[in-house]
Chains A and B, each alone.
Chain A
Amino acid sequence: MPSCVTIRMTVNGKAVERTVEPRQTLVDFLRDELGLTGTHVGCEHGVCGACSVLLDGQPVRSCCMFAVQADGLQVTTVEGLAPARGRLSTLQDAFCEAHALQCGYCTPGMLVACHALLERNPHPGEAQIREAIGGNLCRCTGYQQIVDAVKLASSQELCHD
C-alpha cells in the first residue's frame, strides 16, 4: 500500500483537507474525494481537455497531474464558475443561449478554457477563440456554436457578482 499524504487546497473558494494516495490524479480527487463530478474524464492522457480546471487561475488538465501537486493551490472547477447558487455566469448563460453544447460532456472543460480566455482577453476574435479551445475536443457541436457563445459572452459585460 503506498503511504498516504495529507494535502490542503482551496477548491471553489472552500478550504479542503484530505489524506490521499500520492498516485491519485487531481481529477479523481475532485470527483471521488470531493464529489465534484462536473469535471469529466475523456482520455486521461492530456488530449481532450474534458478534465480542465483552473489552477491558480490557469487552465490545466487535471488528469495529467496528481492531487498532491495541487497542495496549497487554488482550484476552480465548473461548479465554481457560477456567481451564486441558482445563477449562471455570463459565459454559462451564453453557452445556453447559443446552443454551444449537446451532450454536455466536454462542456465543463470548454467553459473553463473559455473562462480563462475571457479573463485574459475580454474581446477575442474568432481565431483567438478557436486557438483557445484548440485543446478541448468536442464531438457534438463542430465548435461553431461554442465560438458563437464566446463571442456572445464577450459582447456582454462579464458579471462575477
Chain B
Amino acid sequence: MTDATARGANGFRYIGRRRRAVEHRRFVLGQGRYAADLRLPGMLHVALVASPHAHARIVAIDVAAAAALPGVEAVLTGEELQQQVDPMLPGVDAPKVARYPLARGVVRYCGEWVVAVVAATRAQAEDAAELVRVEYEPLAHAGDAASAMREDAVLVHPEHGSNVIFQRKFRWGEVDAHFAAAARQLSYRVRWGRSSTVPIETFGVTCAWNDADGLLDVWASIQMPKYPDQLARCLRLPGNAVRVHYDIDVGGSYGVKRGLKHTVLVGYLARRLGRPVRLLEDRLENMRGGDMQGPDRQFDVTLAFDDDGTIRSMRMRAIDDIGAYSGRAPLQLGKPVGAIVGPYRIASVEYEAIAVLTHKTPQEAVRGFGQSPTNYAIERGMDKVARALGMDPVELRRRNLIGADEFPYLIPSGTTYDSGDYEVVMDKALRAASYDELLRERDALRSSGLLAGVGLSTCLEPSGGNSSFEPLFNARNETTTWMDSCLVRIDLGATVTALIGTSSSGQAHETLVSTVVGEVLLREPDSIRVLHADSLNALPSNSPVGSRMAIMLGGAAAGAAKKLRAKLLAMGAYRLGAQVDAVDYVDGAVVLRADASCRVSWEQLVDIAHRKHHELPPGMEPGLQEKFVWEVPTGGSLPDADGRVQMYPCHSFESHVVLASIDPLTGKVSLLRYVVGHDCGVMISPDVVHGMTYGGVAHAVGASLMEKFAFSDEGQLLSGTFMDYLLPSAEEVPAIAIVDHCTPSPLTEFGQKGSGEAGYLGGPAAIANAVNDALAVRGAAIDSLPMTPQAVWRALREAANHEGTTA
C-alpha cells in the first residue's frame, strides 16, 4: 500500500498518480446526464424540413396541412425567424455572409434547414414536417473549391461578391533567398478529405423561457467558447438573460459540438411559445444539416532543401472548402500558423491561406483546429524529400528536428515553442517499435506477396488554446486573451468544492480539477467535489478547445487553491502569533516551523474562517472562497503587420511509427503495428492522457483510411449514415503502444502541456507515409485522404497501366 501523503517520483503527491476518474461511476451505472435525458413538463419537440437541393430559390412554402395536424404548436419559416433574430458571426470580416438557423428565399446546401415544426411529441412533429410543401427552383451550384474560385463561378453569397471569404499570403523570413540558395526543390500536392469527429451522441438542446424572470434556460450538449454571449446577441437578449447549464454531460465532441444555430432556433421558439422546446438531431440531420463537417483542404507545397537533407524553406498554399456558411472554419487555416514549420528548423516560410465558400454543408471546428491536415501536408513532404535523396526518413528528420538545447525556439511565423526533446521522443518510439525489426518484417511481408510499408511522423500539438488566429484573420477582432477560471470554496464542514464554468465531453475535468486542488491544498482528491456551474453564476471559461484544459483549467484551479492556501497560512500565522514566513502549510494544517507542536489544524482554520471573526487577522474577509481567472500564458499581444503572432503557449510532441500492409487485390489497408511516442510535459492524469491519445489514433485511422463526407455531382451528401460514413471499430483500430516522455513546460503551473488532440495530430501523416511506402514498390502513390480500398486499388491500377504503357 502506498502512503497517501507521500510524494511520487515526479515530486507531486497526487499529480501524475493513477486515479480513477470520478466521472466514470455515473457513466457505467447509466446515470449520466446527457442533453437527451432531460425531461421538462410541457416540453415540445422540433422536427426540421431540410433542403433537398444544393442551391435553389425557395418559390413558395405551404405549411397549412402541417399546422393543422393534432399536437402541432407552431410551424416556423425563415421568413419569420430572420426578422426576429440576428445572424451568427462569420469568424472573418465578411458581414454580408449572413447565417441564420432557417433559410429564407434561397437554400445554399443540401440539408439546410428551411422550416421547423414544433409539436407535442417528436413523432407528431416529424409527421407534420412531412406535410410541409416547399416549392424550389433549382439553381446551378458550386460543388467544390476549384469551381467556386473560377471567374464565372456561381456565387454562394452574391452580396459578398466572391466565393473567397478569406485569402492572405504571409511571408516570414527570406523565402526567395533561401530558395535560391538551396540545392534542390520539390513540389507536391496533397488533399485532406472532408471528414469530422462525428461523436456518437448527436447535438441536442432544450430551452425554456421564463416570462416572470425574463430568463432563457439552456441545456445543451455544447462545447463552444462564448456560446452564451453569442446566443444572447443573436436572440437580442441582454447577456444576463441567457443561462447555460454546464452540468450536462456531453457525449463526445472533439471540437464540433457547437450548435449555436440549433440553440438560436430553439431559444426563439421557447420564448415565442412560452413552453420548453427541445431539438435533438437524428443522425442524418447531424451529418447533413448539423454543420459539423471538418476541413476539406488542398495543399500545394514546395520545399527547398540541400543534398544533405537540410530543409531551408517552404512555400505552402492551402485552399479550404468551408461549405456554404462561415463560422470558425476559415480560422482553422490560421491556427497552423503557430506550428507552420512543424518540429523542424525551417528558416523561412511563405504561407497562403484561402477559404472558399461552396454549396456544401458548413465546416466546424475539428480536433486540432486545422493542425492535423497541415501536419499531414508537411510530413508527406518529409517523406518525399527522403525518397528523392535516397535517405532514410528517420535520418532526414534527425537532421531537421529542432534540438533540445534550442528552446525556447522562435519559428519564422512568430510563435515561440516552449520546450521539447523531439529526437529523444522519436528514438523512444523507434525503439519501442523495434524499428529495424519492423523494416525486416515489412520486407518479409513483401516477399510473401503482400504490399507492406513502414511510416513515421514527427508532429506538434500546439496546446493551451489562445485565440490569436482571430485577430490574425480579422483585423477588427482584437481578442488577445482566452482566460479560464475556477472557484474553490471550503465549507463549514471542512470539505472542498470547486466550481468550473464549462461542460465536459469526456475530458474528465472533475478529475483534473480535484487532482490539482488536492495537490495544492494537500487534501485527498476523492474528497473534493467539482461542479459544473451555469453561465450566470460561474466564471469565464473558453471551454475545452485547443488542448487547453490541463493548462488553463488546471492553472485556474491551482491559482484559486493557492489563494486559499495563502489565506489559511495567514490565518494560522496570526493565530500562532507568528509571521507568515515562520509557518508552514502541512496537509491542511498551519504549523510553526520552529516548533511543530504549535499548529492550527485544518478544522480549526475552517472554524475560524466561518465563525470566529475575532480570531481572523484584522481586515480579512470571512469565509473560505477564492476564485482565479487565468490568462493564457504568452497571450496578450496582437499580430504584427506581417502576421507574426504567438499562437498557442505550449507545444506537445508526438512521433508515430506504423507498419501497414495492403491487400493488392482489394486495396484494403491493415495496420499491423502502431507505436506513439508522446511528450505532453507533466501528465496530471496519465490514464486520461493515454485514453485521449488512443482515441486520437483511432480517429486518425478513420480520417486517413475510412471516413469521408462524399457529395454527388448534384451536391447531395452521399454518406449521411453510419452505413456509408464509416467509423473505425475495434476491428480496424490496431492495438496501440504509447511511450511517454516528459519535457515540462516552463510556462505552466506544474509543467503540464495539452493533450486533447494527441494521436490525431500525427496519425494521419504516419499512416499515409506507411501506405505510400507500401505502394512505392509498385510505383504507385496516393496523396489524398481517405485512402479507402477503392482509392488504393485505383492508385495501384493507375501505376500498373502506366507501367504497361511505358514498358
Contact = CB atoms under 8 A, between A and B. Distances in A.
Contact of B27 (A43, A107, A146): A107
B251 A137 contact: no
Contact of A142 (B28, B697, B721): B697
Interface in B702-741: 721-723, 727, 729-731, 733, 735-736
Given A97-B20, A139-B727, A144 B721 contact: no
B28 A96 contact: yes
Contacts of B70: 1
B61 interface: no
B30 A142 contact: no
A38 to B, nearest CB: 2
B200 A104 contact: no
B123 A40 contact: no
Given A130-B731, A142-B697, A145-B694, A103 B28 contact: no
A95 to B, nearest CB: 5
Contact of B699 (A1, A45, A126, A139): A139
A134 B729 contact: yes
Contact of B722 (A45, A97, A102, A103): A45
Given A42-B201, A45-B722, A143-B698, A105 B691 contact: no
B163 interface: no
B694 A78 contact: no
A142 B722 contact: no
A10 interface: no
Nearest to A82: B29
B690 to A, nearest CB: 8
Interface string A33-57: 0011111111111011010000000
A147 interface: yes
Interface stretch (B310-318, B337-345, B394-402, B500-508): B500-508
Interface string B192-208: 00000111111000000
Nearest to A24: B123
A21 B698 CA distance: 40
Contacts of A78: 28-30
A141 B691 contact: yes
Contacts of A142: 691, 693-699, 733, 736, 759
B200 A88 contact: no
A44 B723 CA distance: 11
A142 B699 CA distance: 8
Contact of A106 (B36, B200, B733): B200
Contacts of B249: 103-104
Contacts, number: 182
A113 B698 CA distance: 20
A104 B506 CA distance: 7
Contacts of A47: 721-723
Most buried by A among B24, B507, B688, B699: B24
B254 A139 contact: yes
Nearest to A126: B735
B28 A95 contact: yes
Contacts of A126: 735
Contacts of B733: 142-144
Contacts of B28: 78, 88, 92, 95-96, 101, 104, 107, 111
B250 interface: yes
B518 interface: no
Interface string B273-284: 000000000110
Nearest to B286: A43
A37 B30 contact: yes
B23 interface: yes
Contacts of B23: 104
A88 B722 contact: no
Identify the interface centre among B20, B21, B251, B733: most chain A CB within 10 Å of its CB. Answer: B251
B735 A103 contact: no
A133 B729 CA distance: 8
**Chain A CB within 10 A, most for which of B27, B199, B731:** B27
Interface in A53-107: 77-79, 82, 88, 92, 95-97, 99, 101-107
A103 B201 contact: yes
A139 to B, nearest CB: 5
B723 A45 contact: yes
A103 B29 contact: no
B36 A41 contact: yes
B17 to A, nearest CB: 13
Given A50-B200, A139-B197, A45 B283 contact: yes
A122 interface: no
Given A96-B20, A140-B691, A145-B691, A108 B735 contact: no
Interface residues of B, number: 59
A95 B690 CA distance: 15
Contacts of A26: none
B30 A36 contact: yes
A23 to B, nearest CB: 7
Interface string B1-38: 00000000000000000001101111111111010110
A124 interface: no
Nearest to A32: B39
Interface residues of A, number: 56
Nearest to A23: B123
B722 A104 contact: no
A17 interface: no
A11 interface: no
A5 to B, nearest CB: 15
Interface string A1-37: 1000000000000000000010100000001000111
A79 B31 CA distance: 8
B25 A102 contact: no
A139 B722 contact: no
**Chain B CB within 10 Å, residue with most, of A47, A95, A134:** A47
B723 A140 contact: no
A82 B25 CA distance: 11
B692 interface: yes
Contacts of B73: none
B731 A131 contact: yes
Contacts of B690: 99, 145
A65 B733 CA distance: 29
A125 to B, nearest CB: 12
Nearest to A135: B729
A88 B29 CA distance: 8
Contacts of B735: 126, 144, 147
Nearest to B30: A38
Given A41-B36, A133-B730, A144-B736, A139 B30 contact: no
| Residue of A1, A31, A78, A140 with most partner-chain B CB within 10 A | A140
B24 A103 contact: no
Contacts of A96: 20-21, 24-25, 28
A33 B30 CA distance: 16
Contact of B252 (A88, A103, A111): A103
B127 to A, nearest CB: 10
A95 B202 CA distance: 24
Interface string B490-514: 0000000000000001111000000
B687 interface: yes
Contact of A139 (B693, B695, B736): B695
B506 A102 contact: yes
Contacts of B252: 102-103, 105, 139-140
B343 to A, nearest CB: 23
Residue among A129, A139, A143 with the highest chain B CB neighbour number at 10 A: A139
B159 to A, nearest CB: 38
Given A126-B735, A139-B699, 12 more contacts: A40-B251, A43-B721, A45-B283, A48-B727, A102-B508, A131-B730, A133-B729, A137-B722, A139-B695, A141-B694, A142-B759, A147-B735
29 contacts: A37-B36, A38-B29, A38-B32, A42-B200, A48-B727, A78-B28, A95-B24, A96-B24, A99-B20, A101-B27, A101-B506, A103-B201, A103-B251, A103-B252, A104-B32, A105-B200, A105-B201, A108-B30, A111-B28, A131-B731, A133-B729, A136-B730, A140-B506, A142-B694, A142-B697, A142-B699, A142-B736, A143-B733, A144-B735
